[in-house]
Amino acid sequence: MDHLLLFILLALLAEILGTIGGFGSSLFFIPIASFFLDFHSVLGITAIFHVSSNITKIAFFRKGFDKKLIIWIGIPAIIFVIIGAYLSKFIKSSSLEVLLAIFLIATSLTFLLFKNFSIKPTVKNSIFGGVFSGLIAGIIGTGGAIRGITLAAFNLNIETFIATSAIIDLGIDFSRSIVYFTNGYVHNHDLYLIPILLVVSIVGTFLGKKILNTISEEKFKSIVLLLIFITGIVTLAKIFLF
Residue 241 confidence (pLDDT):
66
pTM for this prediction:
0.78
CB-side neighbour CA atoms (13 Å) of 170? 15
Tens of pLDDT, residue by residue over 110-161, are 878 887 776 788 889 899 989 988 998 888 887 777 787 788 778 777 778 8
What DSSP element (H or E) covers 177? helix 158-183
Look at residues 117, 78, 99, 80 and name the one whose alpha carbon lies nearest to residue 34. Answer: 99
Low-confidence ranges of the chain (pLDDT < 50): none
Residue 242 confidence (pLDDT):
55
Residue 111 confidence (pLDDT):
78
CA–CA gap between residue 226 and residue 68 (Å, rounded): 32
Residue 82 confidence (pLDDT):
94
Measured torsion, CA atoms of residues 211, 205, 78, 63, in degrees rounded to the nearest 10:
-70
Residue 217 confidence (pLDDT):
65
